[in-house]
Structure 1
């Protein structure tokens, strides 16, 4: 299979042959940082455009179709508009925390990208506790949201932030249990090993019905964690104006907006890695001919195809289901998803111990 590992190794070798080890490491950090920032910018443009086109398709509309070919430059025009808008800080706001909050949310998203393999041999940091790292760091993003709501000196922002905090903390439990069910099957927290364990089939197929249940619960939980409809109580326009980012404008608002879409990409990447094999092609048991043909498709194409499929599903949710009330949202988690997740984890553990998975 085509691998990007040769590219990263050649850059590493060239830097170490040209500069001393310390400078080479610094330059590698700079290259990775610029690459991540570029990825964020490109993802923001692509996913906002995709959201508009998907919503237009669901509602039998055209969507953006004026700026650029088929409206492809519309999101770039909106970005330029936000870049030139004045950033305002409300009277009575805690200026330091108010300005810090958008950066906290973005930095957390950047940190989570570290262990995600975008292709075979193309990963920033293959840490041996990758799944635990992602779960722990992703929990910090709620601090940025609470910080934004409290520092804005606005009752709507505070209510939105408190709702978001309750929502994220609640649904983290179900998402975490779904992730643990796959960790139980693989016996490893290292993301590269989880991908490698799916060489002869993805876990959603090999793990029987409990794996499918875990996948469904994971998708529902991460939709709620990213404050996406029908779980967008934190920024319910009809009730809270815009929720925790009501008082933000200009580039600070753009950072919150971008963070939402980057977080969607991240959670869908985790879903693709755990349940759909990550960059691993579709292999079926001993079908050597079929598996060999699948290997011709580049690993990066497999990864991004799976991720964007899951992103489409989450966008499909938004334009299909009505928004839940806050009591319905919390009832769904604590009375249904959490108990189902716990029982499902026990079943998955039994399957792993008995070796009943394929």
Structure 2
């Protein structure tokens, strides 16, 4: 299979053959920081444009069509506008926490990116507890949101932050139980081993109906965790103006805006990795001819294709379903999704113990 592994191996060999180990490690970290920062910038531009085009298509209109060919440079123009805007800090706000909050949210998103495998052998950190690491570090972003709401000294910001905190803490339970279902089937917390366990078929197809249920619950839960419609109570414009980032402007607002789309990419990448095989091509049992043909498609194309398919699903939800009330939001989690997830995990465990999966 085509692999990006030789690129990383070549760079690492050159660094360690040219510099001493400490300097080589520092240069590796610097290269990773620059690549992740550039990736976040480009991904933000692409996802915002994709959101607008998907919304336009579903509402039977054109969407961005003025700046650049077919509006392709509209998000670039918006970025330049945000960079030129003055960043204001309200009177009475806790200036240190107010300015720190957007960086907390962005740093959490950058850290979660570490164990994700973008292609075969193309991974920042293949930690042996990758799934646990992602679940733990992704929870840190809620601290930045609560910090932003409280430090703004604005009642609407505080209400939005409290809603977001309650929402994220609640739906993390169902998302976590769905993730554990795949951990039980694969027998590992390591991302690379979970992907390798799907060599003869993705868990979504091999794990029968309980894994399909876990996948549906995971998509619903991560949509709520990322504050996306129809679960965007934290930013309900008709009630809270803009929620926890009401008082933010300029690049500090842009960091919150960018973090939202980066988090969408991350949760979809995790979903694609756990349920759809990550960079692993579509293999069907012992169909050697079919599997060999699928191997010709680059692993990075498989990963990005699956991830952007899930991103499209989440965007589809936004322009299809109306916003829920707060009580409906929490009732859906605590009365329905959580009990179903717990029972479903028992079924998945039974399937794993008995070896009933394909």
Counterpart of 2:189 in structure 1 is 189
Q: Distance in 1 between matches of 2:43 and 2:216?
A: 25
What secondary structure is seen at the aligned counterpart in 1 of 2:217? Answer: helix
User: What is the TM-score normalised by the length of structure 1?
Assistant: 1.00
Which residue of structure 2 aligns with residue 115 of structure 1? 115
Does the residue aligned with 2:209 lie in a helix, a strand or coil? Answer: helix
Shift of 1:129: 0.1
| Deviation (angstroms), 1:295 | 0.1
Counterpart in the other structure of 2:106: 106
Shift, 1:43, TM fit: 0.5
Identify the residue that residue 277 of structure 2 maps to in structure 1: 277
Instruction: Report the Cα distance in structure 1 between the residues aligned to 2:301 and 2:258, rounded to whole angstroms.
Output: 23
CA offset at residue 176 of structure 1? 0.1
Q: Which runs of 4+ in 1 moved over 3 A?
A: none
Give yes or no for the alignment of 1:301 onto 2:301.
yes
Q: Does 1:200 align with 2:200?
A: yes
Deviations 1:212-265 (A, max 9, x none): 000000000000000000000000000000000000000000000000000000
Aligned residues: 358
Paired with 1:179 and 1:72, the residues of 2 have a C-alpha distance of 36
SS in 2 for 1:253: helix
Name the structure 1 match of 2:23: 23
Separation in structure 2 between the aligned mates of residue 232 and residue 280 of structure 1, nearest angstrom? 33
Shift of 1:73: 0.1
| 1:337 to partner: Cα distance | 0.2
Structure 1 counterpart of 2:339: 339
CA distance in 1, matches of 2:200, 2:3: 18
Give the Cα separation in 2 of the matches to 1:227 and 1:266.
Answer: 14
Q: What residue number does 1:7 align with?
A: 7
Structure 1 partner of 2:311: 311
1:63 alignment partner in structure 2: 63
Find the counterpart in structure 2 of residue 216 from structure 1.
216
Question: What secondary structure is seen at the aligned counterpart in 2 of 1:131?
Answer: helix
Residue 138 of structure 1, CA deviation: 0.5
Q: Cα distance, 1:15 vs. partner?
A: 0.5
Task: Show the counterpart of 1:354.
Answer: 354
Which residue in the other structure is 1:329 paired with? 329
Q: Distance in 1 between matches of 2:199 and 2:287?
A: 12
The aligned residue for residue 43 of structure 1 is 43
Quote the Cα distance in structure 1 between the aligned partners of 2:155 and 2:78: 28
Instruction: Give, in angstroms, the shift of residue 5 of structure 1.
Output: 0.8
Show the counterpart of 1:81. Answer: 81
Q: Which residue of 2 aligns with 1:134?
A: 134
- CA RMSD in angstroms comes to 0.3
Write the distance in 2 (CA, Å) between the matches of 1:302 and 1:176.
25
The CA deviation string for residues 322-343 of structure 1, in whole angstroms up to 9 with x for no partner, is 0000000000000000000000
Q: Distance in 2 between matches of 1:31 and 1:192?
A: 22
CA distance in 2, matches of 1:176, 1:16: 39
Distance 1:278 1:17 in 2: 32
Residues 80-133 of structure 1, C-alpha deviation per residue, up to 9 Å, x if partnerless?
Answer: 000000000000000000000000000000000000000000000000000000
Q: Report deviation, 1:288.
A: 0.6
SS of the aligned residue for 1:273 comes to helix
Superposed displacement of residue 172, structure 1: 0.1
Question: Matched residues in 2 for 1:138 and 1:7: separation?
Answer: 29
